[in-house]
Amino acid sequence: MASSSLMATYNRADTAFEMGQGAWLFDTDGNKYLDLLSGIAVCGLGHSHPAVTHAIRDQAGRLLHTSNLYEIPLQTELANRLTKISGMDNVFFCNSGAEANEAAIKLARLYGHHQGINNPNIIVLDSAFHGRTMATLTATGNRKAQAGFEPLLSGFIRAPYDDIEAIKTIANNTPDVVAIFVEPIQGEGGVHVPAENYLNELRNICDANNWLLMLDEVQTGNGRTGKYFAYQHNDILPDVVTTAKGLANGFPIGACLAQGKAACILQPGTHGSTFGGNPLACAAALATVDTLLHDKLIKRAETLGNRILDGLKEQLKSANYIKDIRGKGLMIGIELSDPCTELVMLAKAKGLLINVTAGSVIRLLPPLTLSDEEADLAVDSIAKLIKVYVGDDRQGQRRTQNRDSSDRRHLNSDDS
Ligand SMILES: Cc1ncc(COP(=O)(O)O)c(C=O)c1O
């Protein structure tokens, strides 16, 4: 009812939040929820983080926007911070993940044209998610998302994920490839973690063929996997890396970073954005990045991730309906043997915000500021929820059957 004047692009849950504090969200009916999704990997510092709140308030009182026709010192400062963290040479700022990826795709095409390749191809992967704009939708490996939006763009070659032999075959048989574009861990596609040396092998193939290695770290970046960027687990440098989501803890911003031969491709007139990297967005991002580093939250993501993974594996170890429990840092997937999208609503009724992706993978993307107690509460609650859902917990099943909205119990720290 409330959404009738909005385009129906989302299947929204019938809940509106009016306040957030740390890992907790509070709805308009006064219910409290443990947020294990962080606005889909966005609010890594949790809700209402004082450093970000202060930075936004302070900057909003000075200057919101001037355009990229002028110097923006906060943008330069943020670029310096990100290049130092990442080992990249320079940055283009925009407003979202899809836009950051558009910049990468344009950069790769121009790189090809500079070498006399008039129809450059970019290798993209099955089950990839890169965004909803036409180029990023084409790069996305999900036919359902693409259906109805044809004609898609030319210039993309699809390969299976985590399959080095398939990439070698393309290298040996396909001319005019200029880049490979890959998520270090696939998020929307089902939290797929590739073989440990996957990125190293891709780096080698790219070097041997003069291709750009381009990584989509829109979701994996900004500390989520236990390194600032996920490629830092592999000790390699990509030519291009994109990020967005967690970069400003909820303020919209995207970034496309490049190094070496990729860093001098985009020149005046080749690309741009009116809002990209405006003073307000950069102030929010600087506060976020500095807090991630200062509070050692990236290491904390690794520790917390291991705690949650170990806890879930222990509590669900004998369950034959669990296909896999996997992840890195605070990007965690629990794959069930059957579709389980209803779990999102069942979890919400218990005061727990989770996501199910690829039909049967429960995806957890909690804030990096979670306490040990909150992490343990998350593990206990999710394990219990799954057991009740599959009917593995008789007592729990009775509870589920008897559930009615007037008897909804909401989690809080003392809920056992
Ligand atoms: C890996 C990846 N790339 C790109 C995007 C698109 O980002 P945005 O929704 O900010 O355009 C997403 C969003 O989920 C993502 O997970």
**To test the ligand 1 pocket, which listed residue (130, 133, 355) has its Cβ within 8 A of the most ligand atoms?**
130
CA separation for the pair 202, 208 (Å, rounded) = 10
CA angle in degrees (0–180, nearest 5) for 276-243-355: 115
The reported pTM is: 0.94
Distances (CA, A) of 224 to 53, 114, 128, 155, 218: 21, 35, 18, 31, 10
CA atoms within 13 A on the CB side of 109: 15
pLDDT in tens, the chain (416 residues): 455 899 999 999 999 999 999 999 999 999 999 999 999 999 999 999 999 999 999 999 999 999 999 999 999 999 999 999 999 999 999 999 999 999 999 999 999 999 999 999 999 999 999 999 999 999 999 999 999 999 999 999 999 999 999 999 999 999 999 999 999 999 999 999 999 999 999 999 999 999 999 999 999 999 999 999 999 999 999 999 999 999 999 999 999 999 999 999 999 999 999 999 999 999 999 999 999 999 999 999 999 999 999 999 999 998 999 999 999 999 999 999 999 999 999 999 999 999 999 999 999 999 999 999 999 999 999 999 999 999 876 554 444 444 433 333 344 333 32
Closest CA to 242 of 357, 128, 347: 128
**To test the ligand 1 pocket, which listed residue (129, 186, 191) has its Cβ within 8 A of the most ligand atoms?**
129
CA–centroid distance, residue 256 to ligand 1 (Å)? 13
3-class DSSP assignment, residue 151: coil
Q: Per-residue DSSP letters for 340-402?
A: -TTHHHHHHHTTEE-EEETTTEEEE---TT--HHHHHHHHHHHHHHHHHHHT--HHHHHHHHT
* Chain segment 193-215, per-residue pLDDT in tens: 999 999 999 999 999 999 999 99
Residue 389 contacts residue 334 (beta carbons within 8 Å) = no
Give the nearest ligand 1 atom to 128 CA.
1
Closest CA to 25 of 41, 51, 43: 43
Residue with the smallest CA separation from ligand 1 atom 8 is 97
